[in-house]
Amino acid sequence: MCGIVGYVGYRDAKEVLLDKLARIEYRGHDGAGLAIRTVTGIEVYKKAGPLAGLAGELKLRSVRGMLGLGHTRWATHGAPDDRNAHPHASEDGAIVISHNGIIENFRPLKDRLAAQGHAFRSETDTEVLAHLIAEKYRGDLAGAVRAALAEVRGAYAVVVAHAEHEEIVAARSVSPLVIGVGDGEMFLASDVLALLPYTRRVVFLQDGDLVVLRSQGYDVTDLEGKPRARPPTLVDWSAEAAEKGDCDTFMLKEIHEQPRVLAHTIAGGLRGGAGEAWLDLRLDPSSIDRIQIIGCGTAYHAGLIGEHLIERLARVQVEVDIASEYRYRQPIVDERTLVIAISQSGETIDTIEALREAKRLGARTLGIINVQGSSMTREAHEVLYVHAGPEIGVASTKAYTAQLGALLLFALWLGRARGALSPARAAELSAELRDLPRVVDEALDPARVAEIERIAAKYRDARGWLFLGRGVNAPSAFEGALKLKELSYVYAEAHAAGEMKHGPISIIDDGLPVVVIATECPLLEKVLSNIQEVRARSGRIIALVSDGDTEAARHADDLIRLPRTDELLSPVVNAVALQLLAYHVASLLGRDVDKPRNLAKSVTVE
């Protein structure tokens, strides 16, 4: 959940490292630090709080060096203060280390080192590793790191430097780490976005890899010292794609990118006009008896919608699990089970571990992923990329709707392949799917957006919100509530509308905004009944309705009108409106929508 960067080459390391950290600042942090190798030794600068505080302090100092490490930290072991910020050093200051992840057995290691006379300055597990490497060091830095890691249990990405070596040593287990290959310089980062301004030639390190970086190249081995071939690949993202452009925030930019992203997601999966989906997957549809979908947060909500799509179009039984719970319920899995793992980053640790458990039990696996080369792309048997491009805003927007687009394609493909979906219905859905980018663009019409902003202003001071939806849009309500609370820090909850009378109705009063998804669907009459029940208890109703609706308008306080589309595609259009509502409420409350407090873009620790 932290950010790591490293550099060795011919440039001013301080400037390169600060720039790279700024590019992954969206991952969130509560402290930052740099370690620079200078002519007199290694100098460490670190500070709790935002990266800007550290950058401002370093502007006042003359620090010159061409090798260094940088880190942004989310506190796990120890308070978010200066002494616990990374990098950490050995007692003599010769060895410095930055680390993502958790060393599970740090306590016995620390006790043993303390008994040997080691004195610790921080509360972190990372400093324990720095002391352990120093204990093993005999002139060979890579050898010392290998020896230290042989005693460590846990998930980690570690980056180490020594005052006497013009090299960086790094290793990974579970937590991501990427090499950037330059000309006379080498880069290292936990996120490929940090590398884009400098190089597009990258190496995604794999579990058990240890790399030695020098300005002229790199060598990868396993943790026993045996060479591993890791040739560079070319990343097709550009540095410009990770900039705000003309928008005030990354989130707003990414909301407005959704028509283009959906067109990209859909284009590769539809061929001809006969309603046939084409996916480059080595899966035998006839061998799939059951599907399990796993994901966390927004990806879990995408999976819940995927359950509706697949069961209705392909007539295959689907179960959806929160990835962090999947391993612990002892799932029933066999070789005729397909497990679909959904993740924007491809690095979500709970989803990766659930995926590994599914494979261990004999399932075939499919990853629906945005980031190419990520850990999950190597773990899954098959991968369906969503092609959303870099998503910088912590709250997922375009990656979520792209995941829904990919799930629609998959359900269409599976339904036709299994003969569960008629050619006529498939052709109808394909036509609607091709038109979806235009429909989403229409939902982003300035007049519609202005109305959502007006509604946000009207209810900005509400102390809580309730979201309701039915059928395929019940998960849309869950996602709407999640977006609002993670961005605005205002409590919001969501329920399937049919559950309202089973508890949630007790909290409805004239101070509670109730967002009801009432776009056109076969269950609309039931949704309208729910609206009337809210109205009878003086709830303030904000209804999402299809253009031309007159019935919901009779009972709602405020309307968010959206262009019509097929019911199964409506969660995509509804998501855009709910994203805008959350965005504007949060903005009016003065929140940082790109970097909400306490949240990380990629959750890489359990």
**Residues labelled catalytic:** 2, 601
Q: Which two tokens stand for residue 284?
A: 């035998």
Q: Which two tokens stand for residue 57?
A: 């302090």
First-to-final CA distance of the chain: 10
- The Cα–Cα gap between 207 and 551 comes to 57
220 pairs with which residues across the strands? 211
395 close to 582: Cβ distance less than 8 angstroms: yes
Phi and psi at residue 441, in whole multiples of 5°?
Answer: -60, -40
Task: Give CA 577 to chain center in angstroms.
Answer: 21
143 close to 127: Cβ distance less than 8 angstroms: no
Please report which helix (H) or strand (E) contains residue 173, including its range: strand 168-173
| Cis bond upstream, residue 522 (ω within 30) | no
181 pairs with which residues across the strands? 186
Residue 120's SS3 state is coil
- The Cα–Cα gap between 559 and 443 comes to 13
- The Cα–Cα gap between 369 and 184 comes to 33
Sheet holding 210-214, edge to edge: 88-89, 95-103, 154-162, 168-173, 210-214, 217-221
- The Cα–Cα gap between 309 and 415 comes to 10
Strands (E), 224-302: 233-234, 270-271, 276-277, 290-295
The residue type found at 547 is D
Q: Provide the 10 A C-beta neighbour count for residue 400.
A: 29
Cα–Cα distances (Å) from 112 to 78, 109, 115, 119, in that order, read 19, 5, 5, 11
Q: Provide the 10 A C-beta neighbour count for residue 312.
A: 17
DSSP code of residue 247: S
Left (φ > 0), alpha (ψ -120 to 50) or beta: where does 425 sit?
A: alpha
Question: Based on the number of CB atoms within 10 Å of its own CB, is 59 exposed (0-12), middle (13-18) or buried (19 or more)?
Answer: exposed
H helices of 489-589, where?
524-536, 570-588
**Nearest-10 Cα torsion for 431, 434, 438, 439:** 60
- The Cα–Cα gap between 309 and 469 comes to 16
- The Cα–Cα gap between 442 and 437 comes to 9
